[in-house]
Amino acid sequence: MKKIFIYFSIILSSAILMNCAEDGAAIIKISNMASHAIVISFRGEIINVASGETAELTDLEKGEFEYETAYEVPANATSAAAEGEMAGTFVINAGTKINVVYTSTFLDGGYTIYASVTTSDDLTPDEDLNPIGP
């Protein structure tokens, strides 16, 4: 009976530790669906993402980190514009998953690139936390 309890404890502990390791990893996924390449400056590094490619950043530390996006413009474009979250701050906590998607349009000589950022973190204000109220 004692051996069964020990084996069960080892299996249960292993399962719990494996789930904790996966939940604690922060990931940023960058998907470039725009017609041309993008370049992201993040944490002092340059990340090149070709059109149609995806880059994943893992092993991220907890904190707030700024990012900037540069992009290629088609040679025959007469104007260029960027919309959305082309620059900003990533707030990274344990288990945070951030998805950044770039898309573009090219109409009448005008190239427009769009950036959209979503995160797995719950951004709902905690109404129970009121440092001033009762």
Contact (Cβ atoms closer than 8 angstroms) between residue 106 and residue 127:
no
**21 lies in some domain:** no
**40 lies in some domain:** yes
Averaged pLDDT for residues 65-75: 95
**Number of independent structural domains in the chain:** 1
Q: What is the pLDDT of residue 25?
A: 87
If you average pLDDT over every residue of the chain, what do you get? 84
Residue 59 is part of which domain span? 26-119
- 101 has pLDDT over 70: yes
Chain segment 6-23, per-residue pLDDT in tens: 545 555 555 555 444 445
Residue with more model confidence, 66 or 16: 66
- 35 has pLDDT over 80: yes
CA dist., res. 8 & res. 111, Å (int): 61
Q: What is the pLDDT of residue 4?
A: 58
